[in-house]
Chains A and B, each alone.
Chain A
Amino acid sequence: MLNVGKIEEGFVLDHIKAGKSLSIYEHLGLDKLDCTVAIIKNARSEKMGKKDILKVECDINTLDLDVLAFIDHNITVNVIKAGEIVQKKELVLPQQIKNVIKCHNPRCITSIEQELPHIFVLADPAKEVYRCKYCEEKYRENAIF
């Protein structure tokens, strides 16, 4: 089995749905950070069969937990200090997300108004439904930027 070493300070995102780690890497803007990142794909998991893991050696505050929660709130966030897990953060669905997903309704004002942010609001927390703030079109999964 592949071995990836421990990190000293940073965070480990565990229980990422297999195959989703690269999309999360992108949405968290990790490509813009000058730090060590390990992307582990298709790791064996008792719970999930297989899963992805992201290990990032940087300050936890650089992480946008809202975006992460929107993408998958079942991800476990482990905060690492001095090589040990010091905290497990729970992810809560954000009330609002900005410029993470795009409204694809051709009748929506966001389709023509320049520089208007694409804002989605949590309409139904139980069913995890997000709607465009302006036209109220339901978010469909393939609409991610």
Chain B
Amino acid sequence: MRHLMNPLDFSVEELDRLFDLANKIEKNPAEYAHVCDGKILATCFYEPSTRTRLSFESAMTKLGGRVIGFADANSSSAAKGESVSDTIRVISCYADICAMRHPKEGAPMVASEKSRIPVINAGDGGHYHPTQTLTDLLTIRSLKGHLDGFTIGLCGDLKFGRTVHSLINALVRYPGTKFIFISPEELKVPDYITEMLREKNVPYEEVIRLENVMPQLDMLYMTRVQKERFFNEEDYVRLKDFYVLDTAKMELAREDMLVLHPLPRVNEISVEVDDDPRAAYFRQAQYGVYVRMALIMTLLGLAS
């Protein structure tokens, strides 16, 4: 039985098969509308995450399956003090597959050790959020045709952003990748990431201003710069506009550059950019459903 805990649990070849399936589903959804008839997905969300939960629920429903679950810890037995180990043993009796989000790091792994059904980590604190990374990779591969040889700009909060760290770890497996990290000094990518890149001889640059590197980018992955991450208001006010993507900055970019964002977006991408054909973040949310459909089928052994 397979689980998904970490975006690197699947090899590059396995990811290719997963993404091929997701693209087939995208082209011909009707063919997959009943592959999960009679199957049940349990969404065990110990902290609220409407977007991820609905994406999973949409994915299972589109495959013909049904969904049970809870949307926050207060409406579950965890409020009565039940352990994750016990909860998953019980859920294993009710469902065929489980997507779990938990504020504590490693909780889905504990569940997977006691589970009789496949467990998908739907986010464990600041640790991993593998289906977001799969979504990002599928979006790039679908819109660009491949995953290797890109110069990728990652912009905003690169220190605390787990989606950014996961994406970097996933993309280093593809040859010819170059990273440009665009962030204020306070929110630079952690040392262990740059050490890993140097060890693997993956080129990277660290810059402060987005404008300066826009023409080089094949992809721009935006994240939010949160006010509370700064030591003082003055620095925040001085730097915040550096990390807001607007039409003026988009004019510096290549015709075929893609803008990605894990969403929710607050103000780091100006709404005027939404109509630009290079803005891919809402299509990204759509690919999130396709990749979760392909993942559910794969983990249930229904992919072939």
Residues from chain A with a CB closer than 8 A to the CB of B124 are: 109
Q: B-facing mask of A51-74, CB < 8 A → 1, else 0?
A: 000000000000000000000000
Q: B-facing mask of A90-127, CB < 8 A → 1, else 0?
A: 00000000000000010111111110100000000000
A111 interface neighbour in B85, B104, B127, Cβ under 8 Å: B104
Q: A-facing mask of B86-130, CB < 8 A → 1, else 0?
A: 000000000000000011111101100000000000001111000
Q: B-facing mask of A111-145, CB < 8 A → 1, else 0?
A: 11110100000000000000011111100000000
Count of chain B residues with a beta carbon within 8 Å of a chain A beta carbon: 15
Q: Which residue of B lies closest to A103 (CB)?
A: B106
> How close is A107's CB to chain B, nearest CB, in angstroms?
5
A-B contact count (CB 8 A): 48
Q: Which residue of B lies closest to A106 (CB)?
A: B104
A113 interface neighbour in B84, B126, B127, Cβ under 8 Å: B84
Q: A107-B125, A107-B126 are in contact. Are A112 and B106 (CB under 8 A)?
A: no
B83 at interface, CB cutoff 8 A:
yes
**Does the CB pair B85–A107 fall under 8 Å?**
no
**Does the CB pair A116–B104 fall under 8 Å?**
no
Give Cα A126 to B57, complex, Å: 44
**Does the CB pair B83–A133 fall under 8 Å?**
no
**Does the CB pair B83–A135 fall under 8 Å?**
no
> How close is B7's CB to chain A, nearest CB, in angstroms?
13
Q: A-facing mask of B187-211, CB < 8 A → 1, else 0?
A: 0000000000000000000000000
Q: Which residue of A lies closest to B110 (CB)?
A: A109
A107 interface neighbour in B83, B105, B109, B110, Cβ under 8 Å: B105
Residue pairs across A and B with Cβ atoms less than 8 A apart, 18 shown, are A108-B105, A109-B84, A109-B104, A109-B105, A109-B106, A109-B110, A110-B106, A111-B104, A112-B104, A113-B84, A114-B83, A116-B110, A132-B106, A134-B106, A134-B110, A135-B125, A135-B127, A136-B106
Apart from A113-B107, A116-B85, 7 more pairs, CB < 8 Å: A107-B127, A109-B84, A109-B102, A134-B105, A135-B125, A135-B127, A136-B105
